[in-house]
Amino acid sequence: MAAVSKASVEEPKSNILPPNLKSKNKAESQSKKSFNVDSPSFTPSFLSPADGAKSTLKPASTTISPKAASAAPFMPKQIISRPNTSTPPVRQDARTPDWALPGAQEFVPGRLDPSAIQAHDANDHRTPHFEAFHAVQHQLNPYLDPSLNGATFFQAPSTFQQPVQYHQYAPIGPYNTNMLPYQRSVHDLFLPNEAREDLQKKMAAALQTLPNSQLPQHIESYHSLVPLDTTHHKSSSIFGGYHSWVYKAQSSANGHFFVLRRIEGFRLTNELAIRSVQPWKHIVNAGIVRLVDVFTNRSFGDSSLFVVTDYHPLSKTLAEHHQIGHGRHVRGRSSIDQVSETVLWSYVTQLASALKTVHNSGLAARVLDTSKVLVTGKNRVRLNGCAVMDVIQHEAGTPLAQLQRQDLVNLGLTILSVGANVADASQNFARAMDQFKRFYKPELQNAMVWLYSAQQYQDRTIDQFITLISSQMIASFDAALHADDNLHTELAREVENARLVRLLTKLNFINERPEFEHDRQWAENGERFFLKLFRDYVFHQVDSQGRPVIDLAHILSCMNKLDAGTDERVTLISRDEQNCFVVSYRELKKAIESAFQDLNSHARRI
């Protein structure tokens, strides 16, 4: 194979020979008629002195570089065979496919033996084996998980590994294409303002206290109670005639924040009622507010039931969030006010998933209402107030299947209330449905009707409903994955920021240490002096008129180069302009490390 290819490659070169040699060469090639697999490989005659004596072709042709003679034989890259010129051409087997090349061995990736490569290396740097090895080296991806895709076959000795460039900001994940260049540097590096503000407000809400409050100091192990109810109008219809009050409180056991729901005036007559909520503590679903504990307590001067759940700061009920039943009149409602179909489907799928977990655990939500579904984030809803009814109506003994079907009805009514903006869709289902039909497509309308009529069909279950809305479930799942991707992108930015904070902290530790003879002994000479100048270079730049330059991008760029220890050089000039240094970031990095080690050795261990 190599011979054929070589011949076909070399043949045109004869065209550049002088005319007198050309004809001779032509005659020779004619005598051999045509090239075939048995043709000997072309070897320039002047290579071997012995052959050279017999040769009729002289190396006089200055147009052929002597280097060309020692060029490696042509070998198609895909087919890597051992260089074995002594192997006779293999006859094509009847079973061999047409495209198979005679003599070419099948390529089987295997661990390359470095010693064999060294031996080859010493003899011939251009052997195909060596080429193959190098091809492998160039393909190596230091980021690849070696356990994947047979990458373990190509693991290189550690000496060949490239260091990963951690200083580089790789723009991974989804991105906003509408950014103007000047907005980019800051935006690309930090959490978006909206997200930061949202998180900070939530943290502030979690830490909020109510000084001089009349509320009890402690309820069991919970303290610092802050009421979360925004209205004094309490509906008693939800919890079987009892009023409920909601407080944020901090646990003295672990410092975390929780919500205490107080069911006012509830008298426990059967211990089993409290025990019956035990299974709720094991319910884990992203669409359910987690139950933590249930107990009775008299701190409010009466006998009350307390249900402790997770706290989701700044969340609102669906009714509050969409201002259901007050202020917004359906007739005058603009399409902007209208809850979009996508959002409604998102609520349906999240609550259906929550109900599935509850029902499959042998429980029923029993409370599903616009005032008991929490909106804890953008389009994120969670079932709230679960387990309360299990205690309050423990004795009622309503069959579970009936309670579960009622959950389906309540789900339909809740979504209908949001879509039609009516406080209680159960009071006039037909009217609410008429409003609903004006805004939403038949698929969603049908789902509402299916849920509402669940009590009339004994066999209706949440699993059936989920099967019916499977395409919406998939859309919701996809949206959740996108949201997850976005969060990962934000997370990646924060990783870089944390690294820069550590570097800045280090730099500030070592710059200007007054305890070392007012810094003279520490930073007025040697490496640390140029670190001091570097600090000026990064943070204290002034323009040609001596005005301070406030440029975050400059600082970030310097810090990243410093962290990576690049070879780029900076010119550092002392404040009195008497000293000038040209140092690379690599040297600066080294100096910082050694100064920090030095400082560390003097430090008091804590």
Q: What does DSSP assign to residue 111?
A: -
Distance of CA 464 to the CA centre of its chain: 34
Q: Give backbone dihedrals phi and psi of 251, rounded to 5 degrees, phi first.
A: -85, 130
Was 519 annotated as part of a binding site? no
Was 372 annotated as part of a binding site? yes
The 3-state DSSP class for residue 87 equals coil
CA dihedral 286, 287, 288, 289 (to 10 degrees): 70
Distance of CA 138 to the CA centre of its chain: 28
> Closest CB to ligand ATP among 310 and 536?
310
How far apart are CB 269 and ligand ATP at their closest, in Å? 23
Q: What does DSSP assign to residue 289?
A: P
From 122-130, 303-311, 505-513, 574-582, span contacting ligand ATP (CB under 6 A): 303-311
Question: Which token pair is 255?
Answer: 């410092």
Was 315 annotated as part of a binding site? yes
> Closest CB to ligand ATP among 369 and 407?
369
Was 313 annotated as part of a binding site? yes
> Closest CB to ligand ATP among 425 and 562?
425
How far apart are CB 426 and ligand ATP at their closest, in Å? 16
Distance from C-alpha of 503 to C-alpha of 497, rounded to nearest angstrom = 10
When asked if residue 560 is in the footprint of ligand ATP (CB under 6 A), the reply is no
> Closest CB to ligand ATP among 305 and 583?
305
> Closest CB to ligand ATP among 5 and 376?
376
> Closest CB to ligand ATP among 373 and 588?
373
> Closest CB to ligand ATP among 365 and 454?
365
Of 7, 289, 364, 510, the residue at the interface with ligand ATP (CB under 6 A) is 289
Was 314 annotated as part of a binding site? yes
For 116, 138, 505, 554, the CA distances from 79, given in Å and listed in that order, are 20, 17, 55, 51
Exposure string over 329-366, b if 16+ CB within 10 A, otherwise e = ebeeeeeeebbeeebbbbbbbbbbbbbbbbbeeebbbb
Contact 144, 156 (CB under 8 A): no
How far apart are CB 461 and ligand ATP at their closest, in Å? 27
How far apart are CB 487 and ligand ATP at their closest, in Å? 21
How far apart are CB 289 and ligand ATP at their closest, in Å? 5
How far apart are CB 386 and ligand ATP at their closest, in Å? 11
How far apart are CB 240 and ligand ATP at their closest, in Å? 12
> Closest CB to ligand ATP among 239 and 439?
239
> Closest CB to ligand ATP among 91 and 201?
201
How far apart are CB 154 and ligand ATP at their closest, in Å? 53
- Which among 313, 297, 462, 305 has a CA at the least distance from the CA of 385? 305
Q: What sign does the CA torsion over 174, 178, 181, 186 have?
A: negative
List, as one string, the DSSP characters of 139-193: H--TTS-TTSTTGGGGPPPGGGPPPP-TTS----S---TT--HHHHHHHHHS--H
Of 14, 81, 127, 244, the residue at the interface with ligand ATP (CB under 6 A) is 244
When asked if residue 246 is in the footprint of ligand ATP (CB under 6 A), the reply is yes
Distance from C-alpha of 271 to C-alpha of 280, rounded to nearest angstrom = 16
Total binding residues for ligand ATP by CB under 6 A? Answer: 23
From 280-288, 356-364, 371-379, 422-430, span contacting ligand ATP (CB under 6 A): 371-379
From 370-378, 443-451, 471-479, 501-509, span contacting ligand ATP (CB under 6 A): 370-378
Compose the 322-361 pattern: x for residues touching ligand ATP by CB under 6 A, - for all others. Answer: ----------------------------------------
Tell which positions 214-243 bind ligand ATP, by CB under 6 A. Answer: 228-230, 234-235, 238
State the residue number with the nearest CB to ligand ATP: 228
* Number of neighbouring beta carbons within 10 Å of residue 75: 19
Tell which positions 63-102 bind ligand ATP, by CB under 6 A. Answer: none
How far apart are CB 409 and ligand ATP at their closest, in Å? 19
Distance from C-alpha of 407 to C-alpha of 355, rounded to nearest angstrom = 8
Residue 316 makes CB contacts below 8 A (sequence gap 6+) with: 374, 375
Bridge partner residues of 316 (DSSP): 375
Distance of CA 475 to the CA centre of its chain: 20
Element (H, E) at 327: none
Distance from C-alpha of 519 to C-alpha of 510, rounded to nearest angstrom = 10
Contact 319, 325 (CB under 8 A): yes
Distance from C-alpha of 25 to C-alpha of 15, rounded to nearest angstrom = 10
How far apart are CB 297 and ligand ATP at their closest, in Å? 18
Tell which positions 119-148 bind ligand ATP, by CB under 6 A. Answer: none
How far apart are CB 380 and ligand ATP at their closest, in Å? 12
From 46-54, 183-191, 304-312, 499-507, span contacting ligand ATP (CB under 6 A): 304-312
How far apart are CB 391 and ligand ATP at their closest, in Å? 16
Pairing mode of beta strands 222-227, 244-251: antiparallel
How far apart are CB 205 and ligand ATP at their closest, in Å? 9
Strand intervals (E) in 228-355: 244-251, 257-263, 291-297, 304-310, 316-317
> Closest CB to ligand ATP among 235 and 360?
235
Was 316 annotated as part of a binding site? yes
When asked if residue 263 is in the footprint of ligand ATP (CB under 6 A), the reply is no
When asked if residue 384 is in the footprint of ligand ATP (CB under 6 A), the reply is yes
Of 7, 112, 225, 259, the residue at the interface with ligand ATP (CB under 6 A) is 259
Distance from C-alpha of 539 to C-alpha of 559, rounded to nearest angstrom = 11
- Let me know if 315 is exposed, middle or buried by CB neighbors in 10 A (0-12, 13-18, 19+): buried
Tell which positions 307-326 bind ligand ATP, by CB under 6 A. Answer: 309-312, 315-317, 320
Question: Which token pair is 158?
Answer: 């550690």
Compose the 407-426 pattern: x for residues touching ligand ATP by CB under 6 A, - for all others. Answer: --------------------
When asked if residue 370 is in the footprint of ligand ATP (CB under 6 A), the reply is no
Q: Give the interface with ligand ATP as residue ranges (CB under 6 A).
A: 228-230, 234-235, 238, 244, 246, 259, 289, 309-312, 315-317, 320, 371-372, 374, 384-385
Per the annotation, binding residues for ATP are 261, 310-317, 371-372
Which residues are documented as binding site? 261, 310-317, 371-372
